[in-house]
């Protein structure tokens, strides 16, 4: 292939039609010069006129006190015209600038990309691979602390952009390493509508459910290194849906939002499904507002319903499975305070959530062997309460209390001794943290915790963590 450089091409063309080219250029140049001259003349005239008026005014002012008032008006008129001329010139400049700044090329439409680096160093008393929450049916999710010592943690890679005038797309992947194998997990891939009428919004794909308060926040937004025990036990450690979400914001001064979701329900508290249709439904309502300039609040009530079929879990080396109906209620609140609403120096946040679950159905003990079956009933509950205080710019301290109750457990005809993890126990945990954020994009955190998730085995934990965000960093939710 041969390339002809445009300069060479122009030269060749100019050589081929010298007369025409020069004639056109001459004519253009002449015209341009003419215009320039006219412009210059008109501006000179205007400036001269202004100067003349200014001079006249000065003369008048110096002549007599009687004409001083008149002179004042003329002077302000002059100043006013000067302001106008200035503003016109600036406008022309702004227009020229915006033309010059206009981005070009395909990359101008690239989605916003953000990368979150999140690494941890832990000092644990107990082996994290034996982590369990006693008194609760295991969720199968990643709920334990990371390995002892240094660990890579999870890096989040997120993309988002408006697809067109109707849709916005979001994708978020988490990159981690599991036993030396690199893993990519799809955290969120969804589209949401931009132009639904009447305050409605529809989201489709994989998304973090709108139930509760913390569920929609990504790990880098958490105020502690790990999720509250209640989230670990009830959602292992959060409710992630593949499905549809519809939300509606009421047109009132008090913030009111209602939402409902239908989802595949393949994850805890649902189970893998082979059937058509949906396996998990949620409904939630949130309300919020301000108290004066300094305080803001939000409360919520949510419900999650699913019908898991053969949700299996391992206990003491034996595989068991639960089939039935699972219903979860969540009540949540958050209260934020900052003097005059200015959170840059000091601010305070109090948040808490309460979970209650009712599960009724059948439990099969040892699905691969004895396969003993019985009607069962569980009523666990739990919650957490946490307070965060920024006592000076960049520095925050926080405490968190977690509690869980295995509640009334009815195992029917099954032998309670065969299912040790379901034995009645109320796990507890206390955590405290201090973090330092030199900017909005970086955070270093020290957290200590006393975790009594395992019956009779307290685990004293020390965590060190950094969270760094690179690239486009979207605004956080309240």
Partner 1 sequence: MFSKAILRLAVVLMVIAAMPASAALNVFATVPEWAALAREIGGDKVNVFAATNALQDPHRIEAKPSLIARARSTQLVIATGAELEVGWLPVVLREAGNASIQPGQAGYFEAASAVRLLEVPARLDRADGDVHPGGNPHIQTDPRNLLKVADALTVRLTQLDPANAAAYKAGLARFSERWKAALVRWEQAAVPLRGVPVWVQHRSFPYLADWLGLKELGALEPKPGVEPSSAHLAGILERQKATPARLILRAAYARPTASEWLGERAHVPVVVLPFTVGGDAEAGDLFGLFDDTLRRLLAALK
Contacts with partner 1 by CB under 8 A lie at: 76, 79-80, 83, 86-87, 90-91, 93-94, 97, 165, 168, 192, 194-201, 247-258, 283, 285-290, 293, 296-298, 301, 303, 336, 340-345, 393-394, 438-441, 474-478
Q: Measured in whole angstroms, how far is the alpha carbon of residue 202 from the centre of its chain?
A: 17
Q: Measured in whole angstroms, how far is the alpha carbon of residue 365 from the centre of its chain?
A: 41
Nearer to partner 1, 192 or 359 (CB): 192
In the complex, the smallest distance separating the C-beta of residue 468 from partner 1, rounded to whole angstroms, is 10
- Per-residue tokens: 287: 């309300």
Smallest CA-to-CA distance from 322 within 276, 386, 268 is with: 268
Share in percent of the chain as helix, strand, coil (round to 5): 25, 45, 30
3-state secondary structure 180-236: CEEEEEEEEEEEEECCCCCCEEEEEEEEECCCCCHHHCCHHHCCCCCCCHHHHHHHC
Smallest CA-to-CA distance from 214 within 203, 228, 202, 201 is with: 228
In the complex, the smallest distance separating the C-beta of residue 127 from partner 1, rounded to whole angstroms, is 39
In the complex, the smallest distance separating the C-beta of residue 344 from partner 1, rounded to whole angstroms, is 4
Structural Rg of the chain based on CA atoms: 34
Q: How far apart are CA 377 and CA 413, in angstroms?
A: 12
Q: How far apart are CA 223 and CA 399, in angstroms?
A: 10
In the complex, the smallest distance separating the C-beta of residue 18 from partner 1, rounded to whole angstroms, is 43
State yes or no: cis peptide before 404, omega within 30 of 0. Answer: no
Nearer to partner 1, 13 or 113 (CB): 113
> CB of 108 within 8 A of CB of 201?
no
Helix (H) or strand (E) run with residue 151 in it: strand 149-151
In the complex, the smallest distance separating the C-beta of residue 129 from partner 1, rounded to whole angstroms, is 38
Q: Is the dihedral of CA 319, 274, 260, 199 positive or negative?
A: positive
In the complex, the smallest distance separating the C-beta of residue 372 from partner 1, rounded to whole angstroms, is 35
> CB of 449 within 8 A of CB of 431?
yes
Nearer to partner 1, 300 or 324 (CB): 300
Nearer to partner 1, 131 or 297 (CB): 297
Nearer to partner 1, 181 or 340 (CB): 340
Q: How far apart are CA 185 and CA 325, in angstroms?
A: 28
Q: How far apart are CA 433 and CA 453, in angstroms?
A: 19
Nearer to partner 1, 72 or 424 (CB): 72
Nearer to partner 1, 121 or 441 (CB): 441
Can you name the residues that pair with 120 across neighbouring β-strands?
151, 465
In the complex, the smallest distance separating the C-beta of residue 439 from partner 1, rounded to whole angstroms, is 7
Nearer to partner 1, 116 or 143 (CB): 116
In the complex, the smallest distance separating the C-beta of residue 442 from partner 1, rounded to whole angstroms, is 9
Nearer to partner 1, 390 or 461 (CB): 390
At 147, phi and psi to the nearest 5? -60, 160
In the complex, the smallest distance separating the C-beta of residue 201 from partner 1, rounded to whole angstroms, is 5
Q: How far apart are CA 93 and CA 107, in angstroms?
A: 27
């Amino acid at each position: 292939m041969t390339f002809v450089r445009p300069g060479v091409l122009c030269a060749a063309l100019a050589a081929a039609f010298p007369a025409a080219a020069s004639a056109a250029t001459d004519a253009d140049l002449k015209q341009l010069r003419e215009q320039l001259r006219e412009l210059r003349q008109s501006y000179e005239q205007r400036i001269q006129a202004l100067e003349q008026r200014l001079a006249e005014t000065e003369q008048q002012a110096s002549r007599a006190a009687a004409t001083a008032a008149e002179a004042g008006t003329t002077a302000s008129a002059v100043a006013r015209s000067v302001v106008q001329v200035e503003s016109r010139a600036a406008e022309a400049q702004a227009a020229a600038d915006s033309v010059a700044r206009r981005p070009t090329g395909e990359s101008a439409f690239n989605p916003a990309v953000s990368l979150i680096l999140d690494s941890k160093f832990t000092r644990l008393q107990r082996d994290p691979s034996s982590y369990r929450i006693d008194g609760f049916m295991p969720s199968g999710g990643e709920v334990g602390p990371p390995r002892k010592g240094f660990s890579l943690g999870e890096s989040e890679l997120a993309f988002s952009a408006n697809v067109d005038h109707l849709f916005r797309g979001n994708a978020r992947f988490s990159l981690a390493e599991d036993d030396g194998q690199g893993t990519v997990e799809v955290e969120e891939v969804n589209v949401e509508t931009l132009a639904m009428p009447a305050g409605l919004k529809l989201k489709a794909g994989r998304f973090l459910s709108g139930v509760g308060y913390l569920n929609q926040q990504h790990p880098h937004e958490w105020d502690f290194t790990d999720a509250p025990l209640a989230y670990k036990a009830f959602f292992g450690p959060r409710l992630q849906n593949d499905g549809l979400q519809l939300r509606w914001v009421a047109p009132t001064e008090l913030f009111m939002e209602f939402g409902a979701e239908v989802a595949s329900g393949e994850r805890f508290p649902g189970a893998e499904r082979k059937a058509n249709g949906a396996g998990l439904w949620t409904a939630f309502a949130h309300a919020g507002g301000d108290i004066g300039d300094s305080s803001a609040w939000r409360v919520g009530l949510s419900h999650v319903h699913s019908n898991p079929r053969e949700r299996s879990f391992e206990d003491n080396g034996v595989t068991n499975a639960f089939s039935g109906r699972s219903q979860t209620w969540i009540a949540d609140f958050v209260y934020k305070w900052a003097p005059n609403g200015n959170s840059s120096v000091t601010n305070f946040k109090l948040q808490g959530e309460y979970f209650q679950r009712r599960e009724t159905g059948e439990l099969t003990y040892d699905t691969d062997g004895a396969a003993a079956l019985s009607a069962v009933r569980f009523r666990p509950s739990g919650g957490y309460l946490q307070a965060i205080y920024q006592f000076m710019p960049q520095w925050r301290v926080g405490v968190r209390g977690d509690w869980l109750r295995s509640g009334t457990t009815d195992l029917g005809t099954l032998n309670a001794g065969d299912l040790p993890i379901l034995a009645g126990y109320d796990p507890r945990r206390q955590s405290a943290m201090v973090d330092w954020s030199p900017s909005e994009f970086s955070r270093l955190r020290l957290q200590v915790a006393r975790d009594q998730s395992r019956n009779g085995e307290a685990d004293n934990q020390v965590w060190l963590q950094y969270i760094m965000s690179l690239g486009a960093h979207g605004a956080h939710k309240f």
